Amino acid sequence: MRLETLKSPAVRRYVLAFLGLSPLLVFSASRAADVPAPPVSLVWNANPESNIAGYKVHFGTASGTYSQVIDVQNQTSAALPQLILGNTYYLAVSAYNADGQESPKSTEMVLSATPPAPAESTSLTVSGPGNGKLAWKHPKSATTSAVGGPAEGFAVYGSEDLVNWTLVQNVDATQATRSDSQYFYFEWPFSATKGKMFYKVGAGNAFGETK
């Protein structure tokens, strides 16, 4: 078999170990570069050839230049080594057969190990005693871009004194009430049980939360 008869693997998606939205996951864009990121796995479709012996995952911090290669044998997924928050990684997958012939690399994928952009234009509208609506928007490019940077969800926190904050509601990033060319818009109806309550919104993904 000639080398060029092997097809490039079709990379399907990233799988992130989503840690949820928690006050313990508060990262900022200026976080030190040596802070480790949560685990990330890469998943792809098996090649159609019957003599595929395995796959290699190529990745690095420069496009087209892969400083690390992982041979995962006949697996169609790979857990990546520890990534660093704030870095951008470039990944591709190749297949090889029993004769050691290797396919061209798959289409390159980009992974930005960064927390999401913060929620914007947070506003509170009161509709009656103790009732109202909390609204915010999030950049469309940040929500729909490749993994890392987009928000997977939002956390609404409440406080009576602006010091002690409690998680009161999680809102999935797919629950936008409307959108325009630049933003997704979100709303959360609330019913306050205290005389005075303050609210804030955190945007989160597997790499952290931005408030």
Identify residue 5 by its one-letter amino acid code.
T
Say if CB 136 and CB 121 are below 8 A apart. yes
- Does 124 lie in the same domain as 80? no
In the chain, where do the E strands start and end? 10-16, 40-45, 52-60, 68-73, 77-79, 88-97, 109-112, 120-128, 131-139, 153-159, 166-172, 178-179, 183-191, 198-205, 208-210
User: What is the domain extent for residue 164?
Assistant: 120-210
Q: What count of other Cβ atoms lies within 10 Å of the Cβ of residue 146?
A: 12
- Does 133 lie in the same domain as 87? no
**DSSP line for 112-130:** E--PPPPPEEEEEEEEETT
pTM for this one? Answer: 0.57
Q: What is the pLDDT of residues 35-83, one digit of tens each?
A: 455 567 888 888 888 888 999 999 899 999 999 999 999 898 888 877 7
Q: Is the pLDDT of residue 177 over 90?
A: yes
Cα–Cα distance, 7 to 62 (Å, whole number)? 24
In total, how many domains does the chain have? 2
- Does 127 lie in the same domain as 69? no
Boundary (domain end) residue, out of 72, 90, 112: 112
Say if CB 18 and CB 152 are below 8 A apart. yes
Q: Is the pLDDT of residue 186 over 90?
A: yes
Cα–Cα distance, 173 to 138 (Å, whole number)? 9
- Does 55 lie in the same domain as 102? yes
Rounded percentage of the chain residues whose pLDDT exceeds 90: 18
Cα–Cα distance, 51 to 173 (Å, whole number)? 42
Mean pLDDT score of the chain, rounded to an integer?
75
- Does 52 lie in the same domain as 127? no
Q: Is the pLDDT of residue 154 over 70?
A: yes
Domain of residue 125, CATH code: 2.60.40.10
> In degrees rounded to 5, what are phi and psi of residue 142?
-75, -30
